Amino acid sequence: MSQFEQFWAAGDGVIHAVFWVLVAMSVMSWTLIFWKSWQLSSHRLKASAAMQAFWQANNWQAGVAALASLPAYALLAQAGDKGARWVNEQQQHQGQLAESLPASELMVQSLRGGLSQANNQLEAGQTMLASIGSTAPFVGLFGTVWGIYHALMTISGTQQVALDQIAGPVGEALIMTALGLFVAIPAVLAYNAFNRQIRLVASDLDGFAHDLHLYFVGQHCKG
């Protein structure tokens, strides 16, 4: 019987529950890692070609279709289109605050909202990765402390205690700390790596929002 099997057999319901919590956290962490890797890789690999296809499109609908593989960029384009509609309907907004805003400011307002949504989409899953990375070691440590307590309570019922009777259960209890670190380290590394990639994509999105602002002000906001 392996050391882990011995520990599992000696563990109680609390130890088993902590183990399955760590397993669930690990599965969730790796799912987010694979998903975020695919999401950010798609932006990095497809952005240049999509931008070229967008600006070379014959009409607005074809340009938006070229951004279909990049949801964050598509969100910005839709926000710009919404801002253009606000401007075109400005004359119907009699007595509303929007009437007092210049056309350029209406576009900025709309694109700012689209940029916020796009950034939120890019950052989806980051909070969960950070939470797993920061809490998994403590969950594992709790399992270790409980395992040591459970082992010592079991040993206390015996009249003669040898060193190996203490060292064995305590060493096995440390498995939970190791599992907690095994879950936390990939989550923390992925979180830091994704943060850098998100900053790069966000910078590109900010530039695209600026270009859209110039386009819509020039094409739809004349006069």
**CA 189 to chain CA mean position, Å:** 13
pLDDT tens-place values along the chain, 223 residues long: 566 666 666 667 788 888 899 999 999 999 999 999 988 887 878 777 877 877 877 777 777 777 777 777 777 777 776 766 665 665 455 555 555 555 666 677 777 777 888 888 888 889 999 999 999 999 999 988 887 877 777 666 666 655 555 655 666 678 888 899 999 999 999 999 999 888 888 888 888 888 877 777 666 545 4
| CA nearest to 74, candidates 217, 194, 208, 200 | 208
Q: Where are the domains of the chain?
A: 3-93+103-219
CB 216 within 8 A of CB 107: yes
Concatenating the DSSP letter of every residue in 14-82 gives HHHHHHHHHHHHHHHHHHHHHHHHHHHHHHHHHHHHHHHHHHT-SSHHHHHHHTTT-HHHHHHHHHHHH
Q: Which residue has the tokens 């403590």?
A: 138
